[in-house]
Structure 1
Amino acid sequence: MQQLSEARVKGRLALIVSCTATKRVPATRCAMVRHLDHGPDRVRQWVDRLDSLPESQRLPLRRLYGGPMWQSALDLETRARDLGYAVDLWVASAGLGLAPADSSAPAYGASFSGGPDQVAPDRHGRRSWWLALRKGMFLGRTATDLACVRETADQVLLALSPAYLEPLGDELQRFADDPGVAVMSSHRPTRQSPVSSFGLRQRLGGTQVTLNARAAAQYLELVGGSPVGSSTAHQRWEEWAADNRLPEAAPRPPLTDDEVRTFIRECLKVRPMARTPLLVELRRSGSACEQARFARLYREVQEAQ
């Protein structure tokens, strides 16, 4: 790991973003967590199932994922390159672990957020699942962790929802004082964790689903040549965000009907999907919509097409 200074050139930046429930092709039954047998070897069973699928079913993650959340991640990658970084895009996935965006995988259903394909209902179970994914070979590549990503990059910026940061908690502790590592998420900002997208949706535009990626792009613009995790970078973000945050009544603000319809339309442009996986992705991002209201709006969009 190379030491950084305020004057260092930007160098290689590893961007780590969340995976998305929206896939461009449907997952087969054996590649959905909901169909795993219960027991202590669920992760081993999961890995064996994905490995057993024909290689012809694998797609590069860039092409496998779809929808507005994934597009915002690709936009973040492009913006980082425009700002002078050499970018490596990584995906934090409940089904794949930490995976390069250019690696390949079959369509799958696995999530750290609530829904039928949640890997575990409790915090301990989700962390145990994440740790187990890092052992051995998987889909033709060696499993990796955050420390390995850090070794290959000058800097690391994570743009993840709280649900996807949670399993990485132990790994992130190792880099709490690393000026080359920063995390953008939608938690309420604190003195220990000042880099937050909370309250910035109206200022940055888009929906709650895309907020962390949009905020990460803004963060990179503000930090300039400073290391992303430095006190200088934190201070610049705090000063900008303080002038641009708008109060939010709840950690998971409800969307308007028009915002939900827009989200549904954008996802359905990628491929036809049932409403349940769409609602799961909406909630994963930190947004709220009651199941009955989402079903009504989904039906309205379908009928209008």
Structure 2
Amino acid sequence: MLVNSWCNALNEAISTSATVCVEDLYKGGHWATAKVILNDYPIDLWVLSAGLGLLHHKDNVVPYKATFAVGYDESIPLYSQEYVGKSFHRTWWKEITNRSIFKSKHPTSIVELMKKNKKDYYIICGSPDYINAIELDIINGLEYLVDAKKQLLIITSKKINDRLAAYFFKTNQNMAQWLKCNMLMLNISVAKYIVKEFTSKQLNDLNELSLSLLEELKELPEREVKKGIRRSPEEVKSFILKLMQQKPGISATHALREFRDAGNSFEEKRFRAEFKALMEAKP
């Protein structure tokens, strides 16, 4: 099975190759904000890794390419013939957490973490694809918390499993304008705000805080959505080529952001395909 060979290869690489601390592995605004939260507030930071399961920020790992987001070269497959929708992602998460090389060092699943730290508060923040993958792990951990309603908050932008609805903080575009961040950094920026409020005011109920915040945010003005100008494949190629000349190491994600920030519109999957083709054609 794919998951077996993946885990075996990664575990062997971690045991025998040069490793890097998780804190230094990830790049981008989302991770930079997570590190600011870690440095500024009395919290512990854990990572939901599609390649390695639940990681502590001090773990040493090898670089890898895997994501629960759909449509990338490194996306975890869906296996839609055997699994409905994205249910294989939940199987994948269970298997990689069970096979984690860090089992002897610390909890490698959310249920184990909650079982070990029953009184702690948990703010789980991620895209809908990641929350989908870990939802059963969270559900199984609820029974170990002293008062799950007060101790758990899940921050994401789309509806989640009904069994987790009581812990759900739904983010939206209006909040991005309020926090002065882009949509890619919205969930982690909301998490930062909640951690700041929760710790500075010495609160003890995440649910109460989230409800009062949602009530407050109802009054936010609607975010102005500027429609981008639809571009042809030729125009997209030209834009990407110019960008690659100006910034040789640019990633597809950052290229797409610059493209859209410049007032352009093109389907994301097609943009990424064009970017990949041009990257591979480079001499």
- So what's the TM-score if we normalise by structure 2? 0.69
Q: Is the 8 A contact 1:95 1:108 kept in 2?
A: yes
Instruction: Give CA deviations for 1:109-163 in whole Å, capped at 9, x if unaligned.
Output: 1110111111122411111100101214426755611122223362111111111
The residue aligned with 2:219 is 243
**Identity over aligned residues, as a percent?**
19
Aligned partners of 1:245, 1:296: CA distance in 2, in Å? 36
Indicate the RMSD between aligned Cα atoms, in angstroms.
Answer: 3.9
Give 1:146-295 correspondences, 5 Å limit: 146-150=110-114, 151-152=116-117, 154-174=120-140, 175=142, 178=148, 179-187=150-158, 192=166, 195-199=169-173, 200-223=175-198, 224-230=201-207, 232-244=208-220, 246=222, 272-275=249-252, 290-291=268-269
Give 1:1-305 correspondences, 5 Å limit: 41-53=1-13, 55-79=16-40, 81=41, 85=42, 87-114=43-70, 115-121=72-78, 122-138=85-101, 144-150=108-114, 151-152=116-117, 154-174=120-140, 175=142, 178=148, 179-187=150-158, 192=166, 195-199=169-173, 200-223=175-198, 224-230=201-207, 232-244=208-220, 246=222, 272-275=249-252, 290-291=268-269
Instruction: Give CA deviations for 1:140-194 in whole Å, capped at 9, x if unaligned.
Output: 7556111222233621111111111001111223439601111111226997455
Higher relative CO (CA 8 A, sep ≥ 6), structure 1 or 2? 1
Residue 273 of structure 1: how far off its partner (Å): 4.8
Q: Alignment length, in residue pairs?
A: 235
Equivalent residue of 2:178, what SS? helix
Between structure 1 and structure 2, the one with the greater Rg is 2
Residues 134 and 72 (structure 1), Cα distance of their counterparts in 2 relative to 1, 3 Å cut:
same
Aligned partners of 2:168, 2:94: CA distance in 1, in Å? 27
Residue 275 of structure 1: how far off its partner (Å): 2.6
Residues 289 and 58 (structure 1), Cα distance of their counterparts in 2 relative to 1, 3 Å cut:
farther
Aligned partners of 1:88, 1:56: CA distance in 2, in Å? 27
**Per residue, is there more helix in 1 or in 2?**
2
> Which residue identity lines up with residue 242 of structure 1 in the other structure?
K
Aligned partners of 1:47, 1:183: CA distance in 2, in Å? 27
Q: Is the 8 A contact 2:11 2:100 kept in 1?
A: no
Aligned partners of 1:297, 1:243: CA distance in 2, in Å? 40
Residue 62 of structure 1: how far off its partner (Å): 0.8
Aligned partners of 1:103, 1:222: CA distance in 2, in Å? 28
Aligned partners of 2:123, 2:256: CA distance in 1, in Å? 27
Q: Is the 8 A contact 1:202 1:246 kept in 2?
A: no
Q: Is the 8 A contact 1:50 1:139 kept in 2?
A: no
Residues 277 and 55 (structure 1), Cα distance of their counterparts in 2 relative to 1, 3 Å cut:
farther
Residues 105 and 233 (structure 1), Cα distance of their counterparts in 2 relative to 1, 3 Å cut:
same
Aligned partners of 2:98, 2:51: CA distance in 1, in Å? 13
Q: Is the 8 A contact 2:22 2:60 kept in 1?
A: yes
For structure 1, the 5+ residue unaligned runs are 1-40, 283-287, 299-305
Q: Is the 8 A contact 1:198 1:245 kept in 2?
A: no
Q: Is the 8 A contact 1:76 1:214 kept in 2?
A: no
Aligned partners of 2:171, 2:21: CA distance in 1, in Å? 29
